[in-house]
Structure 1
Amino acid sequence: MASGIGAALLAALLFGASTPLAKLLIADTPPILLAGLLYAGSGLGLGTWLLIRRVRKQSVSAEAPLRRADVPWLSGAVLFGGVLGPVLLMLGLSLTPASSASLLLNLESVLTALIAWVVFRENVDVRIFLGMVAIVAGGVLLSWNATPTATVPWGALAIAGACACWAIDNNLTRVVSGGDPVQIAAIKGGVAGAINVGAALALGYRLPDAMHILSAGLIGLTGYGISLVAFVLALRHLGAARTGAYFSTAPFVGAGLSLLLLRETPGLSFWIAGGLMAFGVWLHVSEHHEHEHAHEAMDHEHLHVHDEHHQHAHDFEWDGREPHAHPHHHAPLVHSHPHYPDLHHRHDHE
């Protein structure tokens, strides 16, 4: 559980820092091209690491590989999270102050939790719901303040659309979170980067100079690539709604950097919205969930240690090293302990 929280907070820190840094590049790079360069940097960087790892021939402790059944889920995640989401975010950044844009990104956790609750039947209790209400209230306040025209807040709406795309992405990625997180993030980055860069070139945009490309690639590797690896690990341990709650700290990182780097001077509504969102995040991360629950028989594959949920024999010669990944069987089990909706606790609640 602690490892999942740490992974979620690391993902939030890296992604939160990427928003104001990307804002520094948006003036000289079209949104669709910048989105492509960010993901291309992620895909190339993580792809290089996968190649190095393959050459080193890691032992049995390597993560579980993706399977054919994972392809539809991962394809949907790439479309919404790797193609549509970043383009909408870059469009929103071009019309919205980075500090307000960073806090508006808190809407992603709310939409992630709603989809997890309604579609995937993940448990969301009263505390989580009240946290969502506080975050939404802050988001509405920021949207009202960030108005590039006299009638419609297009920048805020574009960022809200990006949050919706990433919420869908988070829930689809949750299904395949037992697989290798580096492989998942590398595929998403490589495919999304190629599509967005290709579309930008087809529309007649030209690549920026080498320094801009390198800067975008490095921001993408850390803020989109390594951050996504940590996010997938958090999904594995916490489920989509809780991971989204911890990830809600990302906009505060981005907002803080925006004030320092871009010298923005937000008004009173920014601070009120920030307070509402901070209260909502606190409600999320202070949740305690414990009850007697039943585990049904299950067969799957993921990186694991032999804890109380993994008491099984091996049909291969095992050197005793942990964690390791291999196909394994879970026998039915009934017990009680604090838990989140991780790979083994996605059960119904009465």
Structure 2
Amino acid sequence: MFKHALQYLGVAMALSFSGLTSNATAADLKIGLLLSQTGPLATYGTSMKSAAEYAVKQVNDAGGINGNKVTLALEDDASKPTTFLNGLNRLVGQEKVLALVGPITSGFFLAGVPIVKEHNVLMISPTATAPNLTKGAVEAFRNNPSEDVNIPVLLKYIKSTQPDISSIAIIYDNKESADKIIGGLYESLAPSVGWKQQSVTKFLSGQLNYSDVVSKALRDKPDVVAVASHAEDAANVARELRRQGYSGIILGGTSTVSHDYIKIAGDAANGTYAVVPYYYGAQTPQNTEFLKGYKKFTERTTIDPWEASTYESMKMILHAMKQAQVTGDPAKLKAERASVRENLASTRDFPGLMGDISFNDERVAVKPSVIIKVHDGEWIAN
């Protein structure tokens, strides 16, 4: 999910001295967080930070890893590629973390891969969904299926449950690369379920008026509309779709799935569908236990898929650290980073919140997914 343009690969990688000051001692085991706390992506990043903190609290309350305390070093990338690269350099060079969780976007992730390869430290994104994201880099992991897996699942489901649908209009954000990918997949895959593609309408995120965009999309009266955009813009498109009389299903992507989407769109969000790797209503023992403690920790009652994925990512790293018998000795940093990476790559049948998780040969998590929809103002499993 969330792939920004790759031109940021050339951004200067100077060290940054911003961020949190750690109170860790030499023997503490440090994990780096690369999560937006400000800027447009903060709607995802702030809750993801809470999930990481909860996973660390759990392990430290139980005695730590091999007797050592786990600490977090946070870098707020401010939803900006240059800030992200500076923060990544600081975490691997100055903070000397054993592993990294983040970033949120696929574009940021790809820009950071050369740095983690140089330092032989693993980086796992709980959210990124671009195809081929981890290919060719043993340090690159992700805990989320690719959009080219998710979108076909959703299209086949809608086709089977709504057989009268025969045409589609596609609206997508032409600024955010993740949304371009999702929009492009709807464009290329809709014919595979027998739908006529009536229009493809592009816009730039952050604009103030969506009237013309939606008018073009609805001109030929499509049976279904796909909207590929991050939560705020997707919500504004949904509101305009309803205002102009469209009452049908809205197909989204993983970037749409946020409680902010519902908060901004209101009743217009009802009837929106997406595929995600987590649903907070799942009745598994792991999820029941997680929700009980996490709701108390955060005082919130609904959980986004991305904080759940962050929690799982942290738990798998902590397990890999335990298996690697890391010590936090600075003199062993290179070897211990490599051992944590190797143990994470060999993870099989880890008890995730929705079911078992294993990493395939490209270090992408193979895990259950679920189709969710907005009904009566909340995301529910379909």
TM range (shorter): under 0.3
Q: TM-score, normalised by structure 2?
A: 0.26
Task: Give 1 or 2: higher helix fraction.
Answer: 1
Task: Give 1 or 2: higher strand fraction.
Answer: 2
Q: TM-score, normalised by structure 1?
A: 0.27
Q: Which has the higher contact order (CA 8 A, sep 6+)?
A: 1
